[in-house]
Amino acid sequence: MSKQSTIEKHAFQAEVQQLLQLMIHSLYSNKEIFLRELISNSSDACDKLRFLSLTDKALLEDDEALGIWVDADPKKKTITIRDNGIGMSAEEVIENIGTIARSGTRKFLEQIKQGEDADNSLIGQFGVGFYSSFLVAKEVTLLTRKAGAPVSEGTRWTSDGSGEYTTEQVDRPERGTEITLTLEKENKEFLENYRIRSVISKYSDHISLPIQMLKEPEKDDKGKVIKGQDPVWETINKGSALWARPKADISEEEHNTFYTSLTYDPEPPALVLHNRVEGKMEYISLFYVPSKAPYDLWDREQRHGIKLYVRRIFISDDAKQLMPNYLRFVRGLVDSADLPLNVSREFLQQNKEIDKIRAASVKKVLSELKKLATKDSDKYSSLWTEYGKVLKEGLIEDSDNRDAIAKLVRFSSTHLDDDSQTVSLDDYIARMPEKQKAIYYVTADSHQAAKSSPHLEVFRKNDVEVLLLSDPVDEWVVNHLTTYEDRPLQSIARGDLDIDELKGEESKEDTEKQKEAMQPLVDKFKSILEEKVKDVRLSSRLVDSPACLVADQHDLGGNMERILQAMGQDAPSTKPILEINPEHGIVKQISAESDTVEDWANVLFDQAALAEGASLKDPAGYVARVNKLLAA
Tell me the pLDDT tens digit for each residue of 574-632. 888 999 999 899 999 998 888 999 999 999 999 998 988 788 889 999 999 999 999 87
Residue 78's pLDDT is what? 97
| Better pLDDT: 251 or 340 | 251
Its pTM stands at: 0.70
- Residue 175 contacts residue 146 (beta carbons within 8 Å): yes
Residues above pLDDT 90, as percent of the chain: 50
User: Residue 598's CB: how many other CB atoms inside 10 A?
Assistant: 15
Residue 128's pLDDT is what? 56
Query: Mean of the pLDDT values across residues 513-533?
Result: 89
Residue 127's pLDDT is what? 45
Query: Mean of the pLDDT values across residues 283-295?
Result: 91
Among 91-105, 358-372, 517-531, which range has the highest average pLDDT? 358-372
Whether pLDDT at 308 is above 90: no
Determine which helix (DSSP H) or strand (DSSP E) holds 349, and give its type and residue range.
Answer: helix 345-350
Q: What is the DSSP string of 259-311?
A: HHHHH---SPPSEEEEEEE-SSS-EEEEEEE-SS--TTTT-TT----EEEEET
Whether pLDDT at 284 is above 90: yes
- Give the span between the Cα atoms of 203 and 42, in whole angstroms: 14
Which pLDDT band holds residue 496 (cuts at 50, 70, 90)? confident
Residues above pLDDT 70, as percent of the chain: 84
Full strand arrangement of the beta sheet holding 547-550: 535-538, 577-580, 547-550
Q: Give the max Cα distance, the chain.
A: 117
Which pLDDT band holds residue 116 (cuts at 50, 70, 90)? very low
Full strand arrangement of the beta sheet holding 439-443: 412-413, 467-469, 439-443, 487-491, 483-484
Whether pLDDT at 120 is above 50: no
Q: Which of 621, 622, 516, 529 is nearest to 577 (CA)?
A: 529
Whether pLDDT at 383 is above 80: yes
Please, which residues have CB within 8 angstroms of residue 446's CB and are 6 or more apart in sequence? 470, 613
Which pLDDT band holds residue 265 (cuts at 50, 70, 90)? confident
Please, which residues have CB within 8 angstroms of residue 399's CB and are 6 or more apart in sequence? 480
Which pLDDT band holds residue 124 (cuts at 50, 70, 90)? very low
Query: Mean of the pLDDT values across residues 106-115?
Result: 54
- Give the span between the Cα atoms of 474 and 482, in whole angstroms: 12
Whether pLDDT at 101 is above 60: no
Whether pLDDT at 170 is above 90: yes
Q: Considering only 40-44, 108-112, 613-617, which range has the smallest mean pLDDT? A: 108-112
Residue 103's pLDDT is what? 40
Q: Which of 509, 538, 510, 542 is nearest to 523 (CA)?
A: 538
User: Residue 3's CB: how many other CB atoms inside 10 A?
Assistant: 7
Whether pLDDT at 28 is above 90: no
Query: Mean of the pLDDT values across residues 51-57?
Result: 88
What value does the mean pLDDT of the chain take?
A: 85
Residue 1's pLDDT is what? 45
Please, which residues have CB within 8 angstroms of residue 314's CB and are 6 or more apart in sequence? 47, 50, 51, 307, 308
Residue 515's pLDDT is what? 81
Query: Mean of the pLDDT values across residues 286-293?
Result: 94
Torsion angles phi and psi, residue 309, rounded to 5: -120, 150
Whether pLDDT at 530 is above 50: yes
Encoded amino acid at 528, one letter: I
Residue 118's pLDDT is what? 44
Query: Mean of the pLDDT values across residues 195-214?
Result: 87
Whether pLDDT at 498 is above 60: yes
Q: Which of 238, 259, 209, 250 is nearest to 67 (CA)?
A: 209
Whether pLDDT at 272 is above 90: yes
Query: Mean of the pLDDT values across residues 259-267?
Result: 83
Q: Which of 255, 32, 254 is nearest to 123 (CA)?
A: 32
Which pLDDT band holds residue 108 (cuts at 50, 70, 90)? low
Q: Considering only 6-10, 124-128, 277-281, which range has the smallest mean pLDDT? A: 124-128
Residue 268's pLDDT is what? 94
Residue 558's pLDDT is what? 61
**258: three-class secondary structure by DSSP:** helix
Residue 71's pLDDT is what? 96
Which pLDDT band holds residue 352 (cuts at 50, 70, 90)? confident
Residue 47's pLDDT is what? 87
Over the stretch 384-438, which tens digit does the pLDDT of each residue have?
A: 999 999 999 999 999 999 999 999 999 999 999 999 999 999 999 999 988 889 9
Residue 559's pLDDT is what? 66
Residue 497's pLDDT is what? 72
User: Residue 73's CB: how many other CB atoms inside 10 A?
Assistant: 12
Residue 154's pLDDT is what? 96
